Structure formats: C-alpha cells, structure tokens
Amino acid sequence: MQKVKLGFIGLGHMGQLAHLHNYLQLPDMCEIVSVCDVKINQATQIAARYGIPKVTADYHELLADKEIDAVVCIQYFENNIVLVPDILRAGKHVMTEKPLCVFPENGDKLVQIAKETGKIHMVGNHKRSDPAVEYAMDIIKKWKQSGEMGKMTYIRLSMPPGNWRKDADMPFMTNETPGFVPPEPAPRGIDESTRNKTIWFVNYYIHQVNLMRYLLGEDYQLTSAGKHFFSAESESGVECILELEPYSTSVDWQEHAMVCFEKGWIKIDLAAPLAMQLAGTVTIYENRGWDSFIKVPMLPNVSAMRNQAKNFLLAVTGQRPAPCPSSEAVKDLRIAADYLRMVEVGEKVRYELRNNPK
C-alpha cells in the first residue's frame, strides 16, 4: 500500500489526542508532511517533536502543497462551512470531526461540494469504527440475512454524561490566542436561543443519532421527544429509543446500545471517547431452546479513534468506503432539527395545559 501523505489543520486538544496521536502510530499507512495552526509556536513545537517537516499558520499554504493527498481538519465544527469547501476544491480528501456542521441546510452544501469534486469528506463518527460496533454489525447483518433470530424488533441507546477522557494524556498547549471562528450562517427564522440549543445537541448527542441509523441499517423518523429521550421508528418499522442524560457519572463512562431481534439480542458497551487503546465490549444472546447461550467475544485492544484513522486511510486509497461520509452525516442534522422542534412544541403544549386547565 502506498503511504497517504497527510496534512493536519488544527492541533488543539482533540486534534492532538484523538487524531494526530493515532495517525502517528500508523507509519506504514501514512506520513504527516505538514501541519497548520494559528497557534504557530504550538504547531512548531509539536512538529519538531514528531519530525513533521512543514509548519504554517495559513491553511491556504498547506492546501497549495501538491504533495498532500488528504487533510485531517480538526476544527470547531462551525468552522467547517468555511474550511471544507476550500479543502475539497484544492483536490484533497478530508476528514473532519463530528458534527458535519450546525444546520442541515449548510450540510447539504458541503455534501454537494464533495460530490462535485469527487473527493471524500469523512465525518468523525468514530463509534462506527469501534471494534465492538464492527463486530456487532457483522452479527446483525448475519442475523438479518439468515433470519435465524427472527426480525429486528427494537434498538435502545443510552449515553449519560460521564468521564469521557478516562486515561487520556494531556495535550501540549501554549498560551497563544486561538483563532476566531465566525458563527455558522443560520437559516432564516433561526433565533439565538434555537441556535444555542442546536449547537448543544449536535455537539453532544449527534454520535448516538448517527449510531442508531448505522445499527438499523436504514433511515428512521422521530415519533416523540422529551427532555430526556426521543423515540423513533425505522423505515421497516423497528422501534427505537435514545435516552438523553437520564443520569450522570463522575469517574465512569456508561454508554450502551442494545439491538433486539425476536429470538436474541446484541449489547454493546462502548469505551470512553478518549480511552487509550480500549475497544468496547459485545455481549450476544441467542435463544435456541435448550441450546441457548450468552457469549462475550474477546476484542483487540484497539480504540475506536485508532481504528477510525485506519479506516480513513483505507478509504483514501480506495480499499473500503468511508464509514461515515458527509452524505450520511447530514441526515443526523435533520434528526437534530426535528428533535428540537418536537421538544419546543411539547413544551408549549404542556405550558398551555398547566396554565389553561379545562
């Protein structure tokens, strides 16, 4: 396999710990040839530490480098609407963090530019790359194809707030002033309150919105929503629920997904996002009468972030599709908008019932 020549835009907290760290561990697959950050002293010292030859504070300079095949652009997501079009039009494949952006209308524009340029825009919904999820998806596809466990009936996801860093190292940071990120343009009719609620939701829960569709293997629509949940139904009628902040933890991470069939289930317990080289776990139950069993397969000590880096490089070299292209990620933004509208309508109805009893 020919090494992918990478450029990095953004060397902040997530840029270092979730991404740079992992690509540096894949020297047989890629070479980081240039990094860019407005904190130029920070970028220069990081580049020197890892032997990265080129450093710049101007991303246009990085994009003009014909040696670079692909860019890992780890910026605050409101900056994607500015940076991603330039990256794609410069002829580079690109990976950005989740969410795709804030508003689905802007996400559609990014999807169209990726289509026009013929370049990959992969969005970092890293849970799709967790070895536990990959293992579970193989089982789900097998059960669907064989019908041995009956039909898929129900999916439940839960992610209470917790210690998402776990044992991650501290990034190298200087006290330089960070760059200014202008607010992403909002569609007509979006007020400041709605913008803030949207940013909160897409930043925090877009992973689960995305994972639900992946586990289903098809699109879904919301059926109801509240402060701590939303329920949905897939195209084929599978019922789903996502629990939003039902409780919180202090020193633990308790994110779960459960996929039920008529005669069995698959439970995924996911590791904290920045846990170093720790995959999730999978538990499988098959109801086969007296031959029923529960098994917990052993998975490799590979984190979802490391595996995601591999998957991006494999996508760039044409060896597999990107786990989550922008055309998939934009659907999450539509679900987010639907959720916030449903909650707002529900709050208005409850207010009217409280203040205007029959």
CATH number at residue 90: 3.40.50.720
- What range defines the domain where residue 63 resides? 4-125+309-325
Is 242 part of any domain? Answer: yes
Alpha-carbon span 159 to 271, nearest angstrom: 11
Same domain, 119 and 136: no
pLDDT at 166: 80
Is 83 part of any domain? Answer: yes
Is 9 part of any domain? Answer: yes
Please, what's the b/e burial string for 1-22 (b: 16 or more CB within 10 A of its CB; e: otherwise)? eeebbbbbbbbbebbbbbbbbb
Is 187 part of any domain? Answer: no
Report, in angstroms and rounded to the nearest whole number, the Rg of the chain calculated over CA atoms: 21
Same domain, 141 and 174: yes
pLDDT at 91: 98
Q: What is the mean pLDDT of residues 48-70?
A: 98
Q: Are the beta carbons of 156 and 243 closer than 8 angstroms?
A: yes
Bridge partners (DSSP) of residue 206 are: none
Taking all residues of the chain, what is their mean pLDDT, rounded to a whole number?
Answer: 95
Same domain, 226 and 341: yes
Alpha-carbon span 171 to 157, nearest angstrom: 31
Alpha-carbon span 328 to 219, nearest angstrom: 10
CATH number, domain of 261, equals 3.30.360
Question: Would you call 251 helix, strand, or coil by DSSP?
Answer: coil
Long-range pairs, 293-296, Cβ under 8 A, ≥24: none
Same domain, 29 and 92: yes
Q: What is the mean pLDDT of residues 191-215?
A: 96
Alpha-carbon span 320 to 117, nearest angstrom: 19
pLDDT tens for residues 138-180? 999 999 999 999 999 999 999 998 998 887 788 999 999 988 8
Say if residue 353's pLDDT is above 60: no
Q: Could you tell me the two tokens for 355?
A: 């203040």
Same domain, 12 and 83: yes
Q: Are the beta carbons of 280 and 269 closer than 8 angstroms?
A: yes
Closest of 217, 277, 205 to residue 245, by C-alpha: 205
Same domain, 159 and 115: no
Say if residue 349's pLDDT is above 90: no
pLDDT at 2: 83
Q: Are the beta carbons of 70 and 8 closer than 8 angstroms?
A: no
Same domain, 132 and 203: yes
Q: Classify residue 118 by its DSSP letter.
A: T
Alpha helices in 147-191 (DSSP H): none
Closest of 117, 132, 111 to residue 332, by C-alpha: 111
Same domain, 133 and 114: no
Alpha-carbon span 20 to 5, nearest angstrom: 13
Is 39 part of any domain? Answer: yes
Same domain, 74 and 101: yes
pLDDT at 171: 93
Is 53 part of any domain? Answer: yes
Q: Are the beta carbons of 65 and 36 closer than 8 angstroms?
A: no
Same domain, 275 and 134: yes
User: pLDDT higher for 250 or 122?
Assistant: 122
Q: Are the beta carbons of 267 and 257 closer than 8 angstroms?
A: yes
Angle between helices 206-216 and 326-355 (to 10 degrees): 110
Is 188 part of any domain? Answer: no
Chain centre distance of CA 44: 28
Confidence of residue 292 (pLDDT cuts 50, 70, 90): very high
Same domain, 73 and 177: no
Q: Classify residue 245 by its DSSP letter.
A: -
Q: What is the mean pLDDT of residues 68-77?
A: 97
- Per residue, the 3-state secondary structure of 63-113, as one string, reads HCCCCCCEEEECCCHHHHHHHHHHHHHCCCEEEEECCCCCCHHHHHHHHHH
Is 26 part of any domain? Answer: yes
Same domain, 139 and 231: yes
- State the total domains in the chain: 2
